[in-house]
Structure 1
Amino acid sequence: MKTAAPPLAVAFNVACGIAYAQSTSDPMETLRTCSAMEGQARLECLQDVSRKNPPSSRSSRDTAWIVSETTSPVDYLPVVTATATSVGSSDGAAMQLAIHCRRGRTEVIVAGPALSRSANEYVISFRLNADTPMQLAAASPSFGSGVAFGGDVVKLLSSLPDDGHIVVSLFTRTGPVQGGQFLLSGFENVRKKMAAACKWPHAVARPGR
């Protein structure tokens, strides 16, 4: 008599449990395990990792962001760029998250050596601390390389706290997950400079309001 195969949900839970138990100290290793899965199982695995990995601790006096400010010689509008480097990535290669204010437009771009496909082939998963990941559309950046965040990035940036971390993951239908963790330490200064340079609306909600 043949034994029936276990339901997919059971198999998934067992696989994720083993993966997490083996890599609790290395969430990026768990991310690589999730990338080997397909479809709904991959998304559920990413959510499972999100729930089980607590935020990184860091002094509020530290800053994870490098901010540069200048003026465009063409239209004399302010140009502000804030860049953070990942503290962990899915393949061991550092990734960069950059926020730009150029020509009055705010843009968020993630870049890294492993992002070799065109931007429209990716889907972005964005997670704040231990929250449930949200899925964002990917877009081609207005300049340079990388993958830009689609949607209302001003609203997204305005909702972020001044500490903690975010995890940005990019995946395609067939390729491995590429992602990194970025610290938010010092982000309040970044937000103020971007809001002033790009003239964000005052009605945008701030964290805790």
Structure 2
Amino acid sequence: MTMLFRATHPLLLVLSLALSSTGRADPFEEIGRCTAISADAERLRCFDAAARALPSADATAGDTGVWTIVRPPAGSGATAGRATATQGPSGPDNITLTIGCADGRPSLSAAREPVIARSASTLVTLHVNDRLVLSDLWSSSNNFRSAAMAGDVAAFLRGLPATGKLSLQFEGSRGFRFEGIFELAGIETVRRRIVEACR
């Protein structure tokens, strides 16, 4: 069983992220022992020792996707090039964002298992570095496992900064909501390759 809780101390967050994927002993026992220590220096040493005994949070649970270039198989037709970023294992909404080339134009879509939408379209709100960029309806695929941006994808890609985070928030008519967060580092390479593939 996995328990999710809001950690109010950075070390508690490290412990909760690491333990969620390693299956080690219950962390509350060790944390409780540390919090019971009255001397500040000794209590901090206890927390440090508890954190060192666990795998690094970075190694076990990331919350942002990383871009990778995927070459399409020969003769695949529609997609000439693609870059995919998948949200890390700490997030329950494992989303893949794909930038590709179809019919000579850049395309941007998001996919998720089991489904990304339960209707012909879903409302997608995009933020770049916590700044609202766009809120629009995306078209759902026939199996509802992906949704595609309907607007000017090329202009949107040109406007993305080289660093920071891109957040996509999905909302559906039946009350479902989920979010994918993606690092923008590497987007320049992705942009260049997709533009070349679409020529």
**Aligned partner letter, 2:155:** K
Q: How big is each residue's C-alpha offset from its partner over 1:105-158, in whole Å with a ceiling of 9 and x where there is no partner?
A: 321111112535345241111111121252122113599940111111111011
Report matched runs for 1:1-209 at 5 Å: 64-70=66-72, 73=75, 79-87=80-88, 92-118=92-118, 120-141=120-141, 145-199=145-199
Q: Structure 1: which 4+ aligned runs deviate by more than 4 Å? A: 21-26, 141-144
Q: Following TM superposition, by how much is the alpha carbon of 1:166 offset from its aligned partner in structure 2, in angstroms?
A: 0.6
Counterparts of 2:157 and 2:127, CA distance in 1: 13
SS in 2 for 1:98: strand
After superposition, the CA RMSD in angstroms is 3.3
Counterparts of 1:111 and 1:93, CA distance in 2: 10
**Aligned partner letter, 2:86:** T
CA contact (8 A) 1:119 1:146 kept: no
CA contact (8 A) 1:97 1:109 kept: yes
TM-score by length of 2: 0.59
CA contact (8 A) 1:88 1:181 kept: no
The gaps in structure 1 that reach 5 residues or longer are 1-20, 27-62, 200-209
Percent identity, aligned pairs only, is: 23
The gaps in structure 2 that reach 5 residues or longer are 1-5, 14-64
Q: 1:143–1:118: structure 2 CA closer, same or farther, 3 Å change rule?
A: closer
Counterparts of 1:24 and 1:101, CA distance in 2: 45
Q: How big is each residue's C-alpha offset from its partner over 1:77-123, in whole Å with a ceiling of 9 and x where there is no partner?
A: 8710100012478x613111011113313211111125353452411
**Aligned partner letter, 1:152:** D
CA contact (8 A) 2:115 2:144 kept: no
SS in 2 for 1:195: helix
Q: 1:143–1:122: structure 2 CA closer, same or farther, 3 Å change rule?
A: closer
Larger radius of gyration: 2
Partner in structure 2 of residue 9 of structure 1: none
Q: How many residues align?
A: 141
Q: Following TM superposition, by how much is the alpha carbon of 1:187 offset from its aligned partner in structure 2, in angstroms?
A: 0.7
* Structure of higher RCO (CA pairs closer than 8 Å, 6+ residues apart): 1
TM-score by length of 1: 0.56
Counterparts of 1:123 and 1:23, CA distance in 2: 32
